[in-house]
Amino acid sequence: MKSNSRLDILSDKKVLCADDNEGILKEIIEILELFFKDVVGVNNGERALDEAKNNLYDVMIFDISMPNMDGLEAIKKIRKFNKKVPIIILSAHTDQEYLWRAVDLKITKYLTKPFIKEEILDALELVALELVDYNPTLSLNEHCFYDFSKKQLENENRVIPLSKSESRLLEYFFNNLNQVITYDLILDYMWDYDKPSKEAVKAIVKELRKKIGGDVIKNIYGLGYKCEI
């Protein structure tokens, strides 16, 4: 993975890219794979919406003109259930109508085709800053908080050690507060291959509860967990 201090925050993130042009989609994916842990590409707006509904993505990059559902319509529907995910639009459209629609959808960056790699990188830097700005720290109570930039938990000015798996899962919960997160989603997020059983997830959650308190991560019987603060 290419080194870039500002883009390092993307190294454990998952990105969804939607474009109906096979060549452009391949080119964008090759760039994204330099920085993101997981890159998923689809070729129409309907599939992009389905992916966004059924999986958790940290960043999205959409074309506008796509079959079945255009990119702006897909984003409009996504914003109904995910108001914070950073979204980049990459499109040949330069009409004011499209630009204003994009503004209303809280787009991080609107890029026009043809594009150069540096423009993509500049947009990704904005995404990285936006991800940090969302939640640089998160308070669990008046004495305990999690620092996303340092990836550490602090309780009464004392740093609580977290393993890589613990901090990764904790951030996953924090980024999806008050949502039911199933065991399958956690397994897909935490492990690429050779996924263990859900007992491995339970073991990590058990250790986290010792460090953050037992009432933050709640069991949802038969499904998984919900994080409430």
pLDDT of 35 over the 70 cut: yes
pLDDT of residue 3: 41
Distance of CA 15 to the CA centre of its chain: 7
- State which amino acid sits at residue 11: S
CB burial class (10 A; 0-12, 13-18, 19+) of residue 15?
buried
pLDDT of residue 121: 94
What does the pLDDT average to over 19-44? 96
pLDDT of residue 72: 92
- State which amino acid sits at residue 225: Y
Confidence (pTM): 0.61
Q: Give the H or E element holding residue 181.
A: strand 180-182
pLDDT tens for 52-68 read: 988 878 899 999 989 99
Q: How many CB atoms lie within 10 A of CB 119?
A: 14
pLDDT of 4 over the 60 cut: no
pLDDT of residue 83: 80
pLDDT tens for 100-149 read: 777 778 899 999 888 889 999 999 999 988 887 655 677 887 788 888 77
Backbone angles phi, psi at 41, to 5 degrees: -115, 140
pLDDT of residue 17: 98
What share of residues in the chain are helix, strand, coil (percent, to 5)? 45, 20, 35
pLDDT tens for 200-215 read: 999 999 999 999 877 8
Q: Which residue has the higher pLDDT, 13 or 141?
A: 13
Distance CA(67)–CA(93), nearest Å, equals 15
Residues 146, 170 contacting (CB under 8 angstroms): yes
Partnered with residue 218 across adjacent β-strands are: 226
What does the pLDDT average to over 84-112? 82
Domains of the chain (ranges; CATH) run 6-133 (3.40.50.2300), 137-227 (1.10.10.10)
- State which amino acid sits at residue 23: G
Distance CA(142)–CA(138), nearest Å, equals 11
